[in-house]
Amino acid sequence: MAGKAFRFGVVAGATEGGAKWLRTARRAEELGYATLLCPDNLNLPTPTAALAAAAAVTTDLKVGSFVLASPLRTARAAAWESHSLSVVTGNRFELGLGTGLPTMRQQAEELGLPYGSGQERLDSISETIDHVRRLDGDAHTPVMIAAGGPKARRLAGAKADIVTLAGGVLTTREEMAGYVEEIRAAAGDRDIELALNIFVVGEQVPPWIRGFIGVDAETLIEHDSLTMLRGSFDDMAAELERRREELGVSYVSVNSAFIEEFAPLVERLSGK
C-alpha cells in the first residue's frame, strides 16, 4: 500500500521539574521530532500545563496528549482543555484520547468521577470529539484515538484523524494487520494516519519499562514484538519502512528514554 510520509514523536512526562521538561521539548525540536507527547494520570503534572509550557519554548514542535484518559474528565471538560490548548499553542496541539488503564478507576474516584463501563468510556471519547469540533469552529484540532479493542477501532476509524494501534505488546503482525483492516473499513473514504508507539529501541529494556509492559527483552524478541525496534541503523530503518508498507504505519512515537538513540532515524526518514 502507498504510505504517508514518516513523522516521529517523543513520549515524555514532566516528572522531574519544569527545567528538564523544557529541555526535553527544545531537544525534541532540535532533533527533528514532529511532536512531543505527554501521558495523563494523577501522578504527573496535567498535560494541559505541561504541553502549553513546551509549546511556549519551541517554534514548530507540535504537542499532544498521549492520551487524555476519558475517566479523568467529563467529555465537555476534556474538549474545553483541548480547544484551549489549540488556541494558546497557535494550532500546534494534537488531541490524543483513550479509555485509560484499569488503574484509572481509583484515580477517577479521587476526582469524584465515575470510571464507567467500557462502552461509557468510549461514548465519552466520542462526545469529546463532538464538543471539540463544535468549539473549534473553522479550525480543526487533529484527534488521535489509541485503539486497543474492536469497538475502539471502529470509533477511531469513524471519527479520528490519527489512530494509534494499541494492541498488546505481543500482538503479532498478522493480528495487527487485521486491526488495520477493521479501522480502514470503519473509515471508509476518510483519510487517516496510522501510528505506533515503540517502547524499546535496541535489545535492553530499562527496568521501569519492563515493569510497565510486563515482559523482558527475550520475550519481545521471541515474539517479534512491534513495540521493539532493534538491529543496526539500516535494519531499523528497513523495519520501519516494512511496517509502513505492510500496515500503513507512518507516524511513530518513541519513549523519551531513547530520544537520542532514535534521532538518526528521525533525520533519515522524516518527511519521506
- Residues 46-84: tens digit of each pLDDT: 999 999 999 999 999 999 999 999 999 999 999 999 999
Residue 1 confidence (pLDDT) above 70: no
Residue 83 domain flag: yes
pLDDT recorded at residue 15: 81
CATH classification at residue 174: 3.20.20.30
Number of domains in the chain: 1
Backbone phi, then psi, for 169, in 5-degree steps?
Answer: -65, -20
pTM assigned to the model:
0.96
Give the DSSP H/E element, type plus range, for residue 260: helix 259-269
Parent domain of 75: 7-269
DSSP symbol at 138 = T
Across residues 136-157, what is the average pLDDT? 97
pLDDT > 80? residue 159 = yes
- Distances 164 to 22, 137, 215, 239 between C-alpha atoms, Å: 25, 25, 21, 18
Asked whether residue 2 is domain-assigned, the answer is no
- Give kind and range of the element (H or E) at residue 201: strand 200-201
- Report the alpha-carbon distance of residue 105 to residue 116 in Å, rounded: 8
Tell me the pLDDT tens digit for each residue of 227-248: 999 999 999 999 999 999 999 9
2 has pLDDT over 60: no
Q: What is the pLDDT of residue 9?
A: 98
DSSP type of residue 86: H
pLDDT digits (tens, 9 = 90+) for 88-136: 999 999 999 999 988 899 999 999 999 999 999 999 999 999 999 999 9
CB-CB neighbours of 80 under 10 Å:
17
Q: Is 54 helix (H, G, I), strand (E, B) or coil?
A: helix
Residue 1 lies in a domain: no
For residue 181, what pLDDT is reported? 98
Q: What are phi and psi of 99, to 5 degrees?
A: -85, -10
Average pLDDT over residues 129-157: 97
pLDDT at 103: 87
With respect to residue 122, please indicate whether it lies within any of the assigned structural domains.
Answer: yes
Task: Give percent above pLDDT 90 in the chain.
Answer: 94
Comparing 2-6, 102-106, 142-146, the range with the smallest average pLDDT is 2-6
Between CA 239 and CA 177 the distance in angstroms is 15
Q: Quick check: 4 pLDDT over 80?
A: yes
- The CA–CA distances, whole Å, from 7 to 52, 67, 74 equal 21, 18, 31
- CA dist., res. 108 & res. 123, Å (int): 16
